[in-house]
Amino acid sequence: MACDELLLMVLEAVANDYERLGHIENQIASWTETPMDQLDREKIKATLCGAINSGYIAIYELTSTSPHVVELSTASADLDQHWFLTTKQGKARCR
């Protein structure tokens, strides 16, 4: 799978709602008909981080206090703890 193709899949997976890393992986697996145990999760994580650094995807933390959704400037080492959403710039990149 080409790098650009994977980027577009990651962007599409978070285009409509806040999503977690597991959902992104499941979406890509269903679109490529690749079993989860054969997915290159590190490549997906690297693509996700690249999209965040490029401004295509925003990273969020959900909290129990107001505001309930807080945008973060960077991801922690554990991407499984965050939520992701495509930005306007990311949506334009998909077109």
CATH, residue 38: 1.10.10
**Average pLDDT value for residue range 32-54:** 89
Rounded to two decimals, what is the model's pTM?
0.86
Query: pLDDT band at residue 71, thresholds of 50, 70 and 90?
Result: confident
State the total domains in the chain.
Answer: 1
Q: What is the greatest pairwise CA distance in the chain?
A: 41
Query: pLDDT band at residue 75, thresholds of 50, 70 and 90?
Result: low
Q: Is the Cα torsion angle 46, 78, 89, 11 positive or negative in sign?
A: positive
List the domain range (segments joined by +) for residue 76. Answer: 3-94
Structural tokens at position 72: 């973060």
**Average pLDDT value for residue range 42-54:** 92
Cα(93)–Cα(7) distance, rounded to whole angstroms?
Answer: 10
